[in-house]
Amino acid sequence: MNSSVFGDSTLPVAAHLSSPELVSVLLDHEANRYLRTLEGKQVEDLAPPNSMVQRLLT
């Protein structure tokens, strides 16, 4: 559950999909919001601007 076949963990994927429910559950279970993707992006940068997901991650 920590990483996908592409190397990114579930939290960046959930942020990219803009799923506030999934992001919230992952954060409640101590997902690391400070990890970077393989491309060096921060998780909050993957969420759509001004979205609920971005607010959850900041």
pLDDT tens per residue across span 12-53: 999 999 999 999 999 999 999 998 888 889 999 999 999 999
Helix (H, G, I), strand (E, B) or coil at 55: helix
Res 8: pLDDT: 66
Residue 25 lies in a domain: yes
What's the pTM value of the predicted model, to 2 decimals?
Answer: 0.80
Region 4-19 average pLDDT: 80
Residue 5 lies in a domain: no
Residue 27 lies in a domain: yes
Res 28: pLDDT: 97
Q: Which three-class secondary structure string do you get for 9-53?
A: CHHHHHHHCCCHHHHHHHHHCCCCCCCECCCCCEHHHHCCCCCHH
Residue predicted with more confidence, 18 or 6: 18
Q: How far is CA 26 from CA 13, 43, 48, 49, in A?
A: 11, 12, 18, 20
Q: How far is CA 13 from CA 7, 52, in A?
A: 10, 15
Residue 32 lies in a domain: yes
- Range of 31's domain? 10-57
Number of domains in the chain: 1
